[in-house]
Every structure is written in C-alpha cells, then in structure tokens.
Amino acid sequence: MSGASWDEFWTALVAEFKEDDMEQKKNTETYLQTLVQGMRKTKDPSVARYRAFIFEFAERSTLLVSKLIIQGFLCSCKLFLTR
C-alpha cells in the first residue's frame, strides 16, 4: 500500500470507531464544555485542580482550533477563569 492509501485507511478507521474511542471523545467541543462545567461546580478548587484543568483545556482546545472545529470557545474559558 502506498502512503496515501494508508492515510485513507487510517482516516476511515478513525471515523468508523470514533464513538468507541475515549481519546477521540476528548477531542470534541462537548468535552471542553463538560470540563468547564465541572470546574464551575467544584467548590473551592485547589491550585493543583486549576492547573490540571488549564493544561487539559489548553491541550484539547489547541487541537480543536487547529482543525477549525472551534474558534470562540477559548474566550469562554478566559471569562470563566477571571470570574
């Protein structure tokens, strides 16, 4: 198989099993919204929890922005963190 064929195969495979793959589910706007809602519900979160949230949100949102899936959601995170 050529490189292009492998790429097509990989793309088709990921698309077919997207719902079964937890890592793929984390790369969605819905997952980011769930992350933010979880932080909002947390009463007096620790510095470590904020740090983990920020790194997780940044990692996931960077990927989604690079794939042009989201654009304005980062503003919501900034607003959330400054409240």
Quick check: 18 and 24 in contact, CB under 8 A?
Answer: yes
Within-domain flag for 60: yes
Q: Check if the beta carbon of residue 61 is closer than 8 Å to that of residue 49.
A: no
Task: Domain of residue 54: give its range.
Answer: 21-82
**Number of folded domains that form the chain:** 1
Task: With respect to residue 26, please indicate whether it lies within any of the assigned structural domains.
Answer: yes
pLDDT tens, residue by residue, 37-51: 888 888 888 999 989
Mutual orientation of helices 47-66 and 29-41 as an angle, nearest 10°? 160
The pair of three-digit structure tokens given for residue 20, joined into one six-digit string:
């079964």
In a domain, 50, yes or no: yes
pLDDT (tens digit, 9 = 90+) per residue, 50-63? 899 888 888 888 77
49 in a structural domain: yes
Q: What percent of the chain has pLDDT over 90?
A: 5
pLDDT of residue 48: 92
